[in-house]
Amino acid sequence: MDAKTTHILDGKALAQKIQSELISRVHSLQSQKGRPPGLAVLMVGENPASATYVRNKELACAKVGIASFGQHFPADTTQTELEQAIQTLNQDERVDGILVQLPLPGHLDAISLLYQIAPDKDADGLHAMNLGRLVRGEAGLRSCTPAGVMRLLQEYDIDLKGKRAVVLGRSILVGKPMALMLLEADCTVTVAHSRSQNLESITREADILIAAVGRPEIVTANMVKPGAVVVDVGMNRVVKEDGSSRLTGDVDFNSVQAVAEFITPVPGGVGPMTVAMLLQNTVWSWENQQG
Ligand code: NAP
């Protein structure tokens, strides 16, 4: 392949393809199961970005034939009230996936709520049990965003075996599970973070560079090895001079696309893949539900 050609990793198109596959899977099993798959997205408070994400997830569920059991709680909901709601959903046989939309208002403890979700209904793959299964290389529900990145790399036949991968960011949501999945795919993995020194020398080693930092366009062309695969997980809202805002990633797309061989756009790259993996996790739990 010509190293000077830049290929766009089109997450939007792939997400649509995955949704079509899921529609068939749901259709073919539904009469045997006697009910559709079910997902409950729990949202607390009025964060406008979260409200948009929740709405997109519910619309995507409807397209695929997943029933939504979402609940919207007022901002002053207590930890105990949410724990009770999760326990009720854990027992509800119509529900295969439960997701707590983050971030939560400051008085709530997100980690302890995630522990309340039954591991086999943990649609976001963030319960310690599922992260543990990932560490051990066992089957289980995988964190949606890094799983979406892996699926995107697979779709474009990107060879990972023995390649040097650098993950920028070490959050539980993205960076750490991402590093584990790349390791599982036989990459040699480096994880960098806010305390890493001489970032450019680290990132320039990467055949596969994943940016999950949350800093607009922090990755510039000089930080990228020519011919690298660059995946931009970042979703940053940047306010322009006229007061309007635009969505941008962690990668300076315009400069980096001149150097990289493959690159994801923002929007239309990792974002739609995250939603597709959430639907896939819910259908997977439904297919594997006992009884
Ligand atoms: P996070 O929890 O804030 O973690 C950010 C990570 O980046 C941390 O590990 C931090 O290091 C590191 N970091 C911060 N500044 C840095 C710097 N200057 N140089 C190197 N590393 C730096 O964020 P997150 O939840 O992982 O999300 C990261 C980004 O992905 C955000 O823009 C978020 O909106 C986006 N996101 C997108 C999707 C999607 O579907 N596309 C899904 C989830 C998240 P320390 O650990 O040292 O603080």
pLDDT digits (tens, 9 = 90+) for 133-172: 999 999 999 999 999 999 999 999 999 999 999 999 999 9
Instruction: Give 175-194 pLDDT, tens digit per residue.
Output: 999 999 999 999 999 999 99
Contact 231, 264 (CB under 8 A): yes
Pocket of ligand 1 (CB under 6 A): 145, 168-171, 173-175, 192-196, 199, 212-215, 218, 233-236, 270-271, 274
What is the Å distance from ligand 1's center to 196 Cα?
14
Bridge partners (DSSP) listed for residue 262: 7, 229
Rounded Cα distance, 216 and 13, in Å: 24
- 10, 57, 121, 257: the active-site residue: 57
Q: CB-based contacts of 10: which residues, under 8 Å, 6+ apart? A: 265, 268, 269
What is the Å distance from ligand 1's center to 168 Cα?
8
Q: Is 232 a catalytic residue?
A: no
Under the banding of pLDDT at 50, 70 and 90, the label for residue 291 is low
What is the Å distance from ligand 1's center to 155 Cα?
25
Under the banding of pLDDT at 50, 70 and 90, the label for residue 211 is very high
Rounded Cα distance, 142 and 134, in Å: 7
- 120, 124, 207, 252: the active-site residue: 124
What is the Å distance from ligand 1's center to 220 Cα?
16
Q: Is 57 a catalytic residue?
A: yes
